[in-house]
Structure 1
Amino acid sequence: MDMPSAQQAIACNKDAWDQSASLHKTTDTWHAMLKRVGNAGFSCLDPTITGVLQDIGVAGKDVVQLGCNNGRESLSLFALNARSVVGVDQSAAFLQQARELAEVSPHAPEFIESDIHHLPQRLHERFDIALVTIGVLGWMPDVALFMRHAASTLKPGGTLVMYETHPFLEVFDPRAQNPLLPASSYFQREPFVLQESIVYEGRGALAGPTSYWYVHTLGDLVNAAIGADLQISHLQEYAHSNREELYDQYEHQPAQLPLCFTLTATKRPA
């Protein structure tokens, strides 16, 4: 199979996310969130990323979330007393959901439709913190390019904060007969070709539009940060899963895998 260009993959991924958006509004999670988001202290951030953000200090700062999906995490940043929050995503359908949540919330984030590779100039060097959370990196064909664009949103001295699935987990297939047997190479460079809707909450696979998922090693990520003139100040790996329920089986193993990580890096002053 011929692999798509980076531009083609990005366009396919956008289409896949837009077409999958409606499936997320039928979940118990969505209805529960609509009820909770009106609380000024609403947060869906887990203790791991909450702790990292508290250590950095969000209070009084301007924050951008790159790949904000339906805005639930962007809205959660106000519970940490962010001064302003901007959520960026390329899926118009998910941003519509973000605006629905914001209408119920007492807070007023701004949501911007944009591919990370074509960020509007007004976001350049505007933020104290740029947040990237679970399930963003895999949709990016070129992690070094992604990191440069992420860094471009930060003021000098600003901090990139990342909470992502550990790339080593991509070696395994959670649906395989033996899910602990490596199924693909950690160093695979061709993307996984997916032909199912993008759904969570342990649902079975549903046929959907083609999308492309890329694996970037932890070394790739570290080098990408260095190449974007970011100084890494924290890299921590964890044994808990921060992905769909299907991946919970990888927790509490006698020979435990790394399942997720946090990273912080500071933009060097000009």
Structure 2
Amino acid sequence: MTDYRELNRANWDDRAAAHAASPGYAVDRFAADPAYLSEVVRFDLPLLGDIAGLRGVHLQCHIGTDTVSLARLGATMTGLDFSDKSLEQARRIAALAGADVTFVRSDVYDAVSAVGEGYDLVYTGVGALCWLPDIRRWAATVAALLKPGGRLFIREGHPVLWSLDYDRRDGLVALEHPYFETVEGQVWDEAGTYVETDVEFAHNKTVEWNHGLGEIVTAVLEAGLTVTGLAEHTSVPWEALENGQMTDIGHGEFQLADRPDRLPHSYTLQAVKAPV
């Protein structure tokens, strides 16, 4: 059987250039405006706070627009991703933006050997955890990357959102896919992507896993971190449901068109490693 990493890497390699060329990632804005931040990081700012002077690593950084944004906020950033093509775009975008960011190719679970330890900040953005089969191993990796007193910051799509039937035509919000982590991942074969593009892709099969919110928090606690914040949000930074079920509310955020308070769209989790 093909390894899930090979399938997923081929999928991301195939889409990296199209993502960088799409209006959603606004690469031209990074080149034109030295103060420009990605919409994802701008959403994070009220909870993220001042990160100037921190040494940070961005796990699963993709094409690096959020990594560059964190560097523009004054952090010394390293971006890590397993996709060579994504990192090619990330390095190009950082150069266009005039940002001093280091990008390293590695699987998340090998991050410590790839980029070392002692970080003040581990940052993970939206749409990352679903590519990982074992949330406890992820949390242990985060804990190993952080120095004592260091901080985890993650905003992610809510596991309730991930478990919905995405393509319903009757307007109902229905749970269809696993909420909890399963041994075998969900196999998808989808030709498109989440940005506007006319590109046709060759590698469309992926393997993904959901992780319940309790599983994520428990994994973080078992890794020795102390949870300092958990906020749930009524928006998410992509059009997660099809057939007109979501409304664009601006600033890159979407929410359920009908009674959005019914659905936790995303969450922000923060935790710290105990000081020595």
With the length of structure 1 as denominator, give the TM-score of the two structures.
0.87
CA distance in 1, matches of 2:98, 2:18: 26
State which of 4, 12, 21 in structure 2 corresponds to 1:9: 4
Whether 2:189 is the aligned partner of 1:195: answer yes
Deviation at 1:252, TM superposition (A): 5.0
Contact residue 17 and residue 89 of structure 2 kept, 8 A: no
- Which residue is equivalent to 2:173? 180
Deviation at 1:115, TM superposition (A): 0.5
Structure 2 CA distance for partners of 1:76 and 1:198, relative to 1, 3 Å = farther
Deviation at 1:88, TM superposition (A): 0.4
State which of 72, 97, 108 in structure 1 corresponds to 2:65: 72
CA distance in 1, matches of 2:113, 2:205: 31
State which of 41, 47, 53 in structure 2 corresponds to 1:52: 47
CA distance in 2, matches of 1:104, 1:198: 27
Please, which moves more after superposition, 122-131 or 86-95? 122-131
- Which residue is equivalent to 1:86? 78
Structure 2 CA distance for partners of 1:181 and 1:122, relative to 1, 3 Å = closer
Deviation at 1:242, TM superposition (A): 2.3
Opposite residue 238 of structure 2, the aligned amino acid is: R
- Which residue is equivalent to 1:214? 209
1:54-112 deviations in Å (ceiling 9; x for gaps): 1xx30111111001000100000133222x11000000000000011111112210000
CA distance in 2, matches of 1:183, 1:65: 31
User: Secondary structure in 2 aligned to 1:208?
Assistant: coil
User: Secondary structure in 1 aligned to 2:9?
Assistant: helix
User: Secondary structure in 2 aligned to 1:119?
Assistant: helix
Contact residue 202 and residue 245 of structure 1 kept, 8 A: no
Deviation at 1:147, TM superposition (A): 1.2
- Which residue is equivalent to 1:251? 256
**Unpaired runs of at least 5, structure 1:** none
Whether 2:151 is the aligned partner of 1:159: answer yes
Structure 2 CA distance for partners of 1:236 and 1:135, relative to 1, 3 Å = same
- Which residue is equivalent to 2:33? 39
CA distance in 2, matches of 1:65, 1:195: 28
Deviation at 1:14, TM superposition (A): 1.4
User: Secondary structure in 1 aligned to 2:141?
Assistant: helix
CA distance in 1, matches of 2:107, 2:14: 17
> Between Structure 1 and Structure 2, how many residues are aligned?
261
User: Secondary structure in 1 aligned to 2:180?
Assistant: coil
Contact residue 72 and residue 99 of structure 2 kept, 8 A: no
User: Secondary structure in 2 aligned to 1:231?
Assistant: strand
CA distance in 1, matches of 2:119, 2:165: 38
With the length of structure 2 as denominator, give the TM-score of the two structures.
0.85
Contact residue 150 and residue 272 of structure 2 kept, 8 A: yes
Structure 2 CA distance for partners of 1:36 and 1:187, relative to 1, 3 Å = closer
Calculate percent identity across the aligned residue pairs: 28
Opposite residue 193 of structure 2, the aligned amino acid is: V
Correspondence 1:90-169 to 2 at 5 A: 90-121=82-113, 123-169=115-161
Please, which moves more after superposition, 237-246 or 219-228? 237-246
Deviation at 1:149, TM superposition (A): 1.0
Contact residue 233 and residue 267 of structure 2 kept, 8 A: yes
Deviation at 1:35, TM superposition (A): 4.1
Structure 2 CA distance for partners of 1:230 and 1:27, relative to 1, 3 Å = same
**Unpaired runs of at least 5, structure 2:** 248-254
CA distance in 2, matches of 1:35, 1:202: 17
Structure 2 CA distance for partners of 1:27 and 1:21, relative to 1, 3 Å = same
Please, which moves more after superposition, 67-76 or 188-197? 188-197
CA distance in 2, matches of 1:203, 1:245: 17
Please, which moves more after superposition, 91-100 or 189-198? 189-198
